[in-house]
Amino acid sequence: MPMLAMVLGDPAPAAAGPLRPERRDVPHPGPGELLLRVAACGVCRTDLQLCEGDIAARRLPVVPGHQAVGRVAAVGEDVDGWSVGDRAGAFWLAATCGTCRFCASGRENLCERGEFTGWDRDGGFAEAMLVRADAAVRLPDGVADVDAAPLLCGGVIGYRALRRCGIAPGGVLGLFGFGASALCAIQIAVHRGCTVHVFTRSERERARALDLGAAWAGGYDDPSPEPLDAAVTFAPVGSVVARALAALDRGGTVAVNAIHLDRIPEFPYRDLWWERNLVSVANVTRADAAEFMDLAAAIPVRTSVRTYPLAEANAALADLAAGEVPGAAVLVMDPHAAPGPPRA
């Protein structure tokens, strides 16, 4: 039976509906691959940037979506450890060469021949997709499909951003911007005893941050209640990066968690002096994904999602672009499971 896929042919504004529905044959897994029957797939801001052309496409047409949760429907040759019926997830990292200096040193997220789900390979905006078995993530029990899906990008990259900024348990952390990724990061930081200060324009997001354990929440231009040991910026705006750097204590680090940034404005050297650091977060590793998903189940990390039927993927993109999605948008393949109201 053919499957439905939402396909990007030519990037366009989200309001114009850049995705087109196609009926395709269900693909067959090749050597080393799994066929994943998708149950839910998160809609990430990176998907939006790809569909609108802010991120250059690697191939067109392509099926976006890199937060897919489902069940293994078929197993290709030379696959060990996976069986039909296993629950699995696909995330941003789709494949690496395994032999370059980055892969050999545990930095596969920097692999120069890396491939990415929904960018180089067809992703999860479809009823089925192929996933390399060595890049699939085992998902813990007790987390529903629609709740697990947004964790596979926003959650995992937020987890890596916390590692990159070097925040220690009990430290003072600043989060600049408070979308789906920051929502996960704050829960990890609070779980580890950190004092968290959140900077965001949205009054609704400030209230949400305080509900999740933030010690303080204010605007981007508000002074920090105290010097920050570390900060993570989630907004794709360079001026926010400069603001976070100015709020750091000596020796602190700002991790920029954005795949796209407009520009970083000029700032005085005194904001960088005293061995402050400015680093980026580039992709994630398989270890990041596995570690975070286990941690998310143990805490547990709460998610806030709004569900859409797969066929309404353009509506999900448009709502995301308009800032009308509290938390994360998730496509569901079962038409009886969507649309749905926000759930926390």
- Residue 76 tokens, joined: 């290709």
Q: List, edge to edge, every strand of the sheet that includes 216-218.
A: 216-218, 195-199, 172-176, 228-233, 248-256, 277-280
pLDDT, residue 344, reads: 45
- Residue 153 tokens, joined: 């990008």
CA-atom Rg of the chain in angstroms? 20
- Residue (of 326, 341, 278, 332) closest to 309 by Cα position: 332
Torsion of CA 327, 330, 335, 340, to 10 degrees: 0
Asked if 211 and 152 count as a contact pair (C-beta separation under 8 A), the reply is: no
- Residue (of 250, 289, 244, 302) closest to 273 by Cα position: 250
Q: Could you tell me how many residues make up the chain?
A: 344
Distance CA(212)–CA(206), nearest Å, equals 10
pLDDT, residue 282, reads: 93
Distance CA(34)–CA(11), nearest Å, equals 29
CA angle, corner 143, sides to 138 and 147, nearest 5? 105
pLDDT, residue 136, reads: 97
pLDDT, residue 343, reads: 43
Looking at the domain 155-280, which fold is it? Answer: Rossmann fold (3.40.50)
- Residue 313 tokens, joined: 């993927």
So what's the architecture of 3-143+300-337 in CATH? Answer: Alpha-Beta Complex (3.90)
Per-residue pLDDT of the chain in tens (344 residues, 90 and over written 9): 799 999 999 999 999 999 999 999 999 999 999 999 999 999 998 999 999 998 899 999 999 999 999 999 999 999 999 999 999 999 999 999 999 999 999 999 999 999 999 999 999 999 999 999 999 999 988 889 999 999 999 999 999 999 999 999 999 999 999 988 999 999 999 999 999 999 999 999 999 999 999 999 999 999 999 999 999 999 889 999 999 999 999 999 999 998 778 888 999 999 999 999 999 999 999 999 999 999 999 999 988 899 999 999 999 999 999 988 877 899 999 755 433 334 44
Give all strands (DSSP E) within the chain, no chain letters.
3-8, 19-24, 33-43, 68-75, 87-90, 93-95, 115-116, 128-132, 137-138, 172-176, 195-199, 216-218, 228-233, 248-256, 277-280, 305-309, 328-332
Helices (H), 60-170: 101-104, 145-148, 154-165
Evaluated on CA atoms 107, 110, 114, 116, the torsion sign reads: positive
pLDDT, residue 180, reads: 83
pLDDT, residue 342, reads: 41
Helix, strand or coil for residue 328? strand
The residues that bridge with 68 in the sheet, in sequence order, are 41, 90
Distance CA(15)–CA(252), nearest Å, equals 40
In the chain, what are the domain boundaries?
3-143+300-337, 155-280
pLDDT, residue 260, reads: 76
